[in-house]
Structure 1
């Protein structure tokens, strides 16, 4: 809108000024008729401001030209205002008639057809010129007499002027198109670099995910063996297991360092924020899980319900909690379903709610879902998941002095996390 206002201002300044670069091709009763650069300049702005009513542009331009010429007459001579007004008033209708012709044939496809624009511009100038001439003669009480030479001159002048400005306009558009193509080419090159860089990071990430799965399973086995051991356990064997886990964690850390370094370079501004608006976080969660759902050949509709006025939230904490819940919801839905994510505030607490219409959790298993190692998910090879997602969420929520609860009904499974806002915001 700001560009349109600037273009309007330029039009109201340049068209009257261009109208003073003129010559008068006729003598006698048509001696006041001028040929100037006003109309081709006006045509240029009509093509530029094509999203604004042409009648509106014609009225504004006609008024600006009329006032400008009256001001010049009054400044340069002692001509009475009524006289100069009657002399200059036909110019107002010239621009209104010119714009009206373009308004009548307005069509979006028109601007891709230079020849059609040229023909319409010539026709518009002829009509506008005849309107101005007739009004000029009416004010001077002279007889209207359009001879073949007069009409011929008007046609020739219209052709030369309009094709001159159209050539300039389309050369400008061509240069603009070349710039856009060049920018698009640079963007495509940048995109190819991004894709090649991301491919390398995907390889590292796949290895890191596999290692993380193995580490989590090994940790759970150690945890289970410690709980079930009735007698003294083998310290040497335990130390060896822990050392293996430490080595695997170290490998994951190195992979993640490489991935982080690569992705940081791919990010254009190079900055990762610790806090983000709640809406941006929710959008990020949905976008990533839409891709996850598509990778599993599932059609899932995501809905975000966001309370207004929420402060910026700690990115990694919120993502760590909500991503786990949303991933579980995506995996639980068979083929198609709905997932609803909501952020709301209750006093000094933040409520994070994730609901899905998947198969649900049987009543007899609801007491087991937060137990480490319990899972109902298996991969394609039949290996069970680690079952550490919900226990991790519960542990993290408790660490933040919050809680996680499960609500079920015949149509939805709903997990609700309640957390103190002070532990998620900068102020906290």
Structure 2
């Protein structure tokens, strides 16, 4: 600000074809006062007023040093200090930077501030009587103040709008990341729930083994007792693991199941989020995949994490199935009291003999570059959740033109909409 305002003040023009000049110093100063909120405007006015006066004295000394004395240069330029000081004091007194920011209020007040500041500068000049004798000077000052104020506000508002758009895009990206992360927790919670069941079964089997060993022939009592104690120890350790998993599962369940307004989103917005997420996923895999989304307009706001988790899983499977180039169709529609989510692709398809096996936990046909298989839990998870909600997932037998695989999730509407 201390550098820009004096330099901008040297950019001058004469709109009325007389000695009345306009510089860009005031608009630049006004912009900085709006932008820099950490420094009190009065301090800015003191510093800028001194810098502008000293800069003009130094400039004239450099280029007109032989024509004017230091005294005359000071007499010529020191009044500008009072212009910037008055401007800054009024800016602070009228609290121009207060929230909420109202452009029309700020623009109107700035016209008043600039007009008063101009008269304050004229009042300390020796030529005050000559300047004020021209009645037109009042109109010229007000007109210039009007033009400069709203020019600066227009420029400032453009920057503010651009910043707001960038912040909104950043916030949307963060929200999408959180939504995808929480939806992924659904899948992890189902697998954790399965682990809890396995841990319970192992604990019971170990205890049954302990009792069986206790009932063996007492002829080899020492070895039998040692084995029984080992089985009991294993049972206790597995039980501890189960308890730890239960605490983790309880935390996940609380995080996932806490309902708020943010947990529900328009079906079309969820679909767009799924498309954006999987478009990035396809690009990461080096594939060229087109997405076609169709969501019925009549659908209400849906439970975002459940829908996102289920449909996103199917969409990701479709992307993985496509070799290099292909199309993924995503559809959401309402049939009576059922929500249908259909995901299809034009990849290699699923052989008839594998259709029933694809929902088996651990079954997979996907391997990474190192030859390691995937977990094979995706479709099993979808079926578990769908059935837990009173729905189902099916592999479509009647395909549309261009499709090679299509899976449809059917869920009861009331399970995914907000209560009431």
TM-score by structure 2 length? 0.49
TM-score by structure 1 length? 0.49
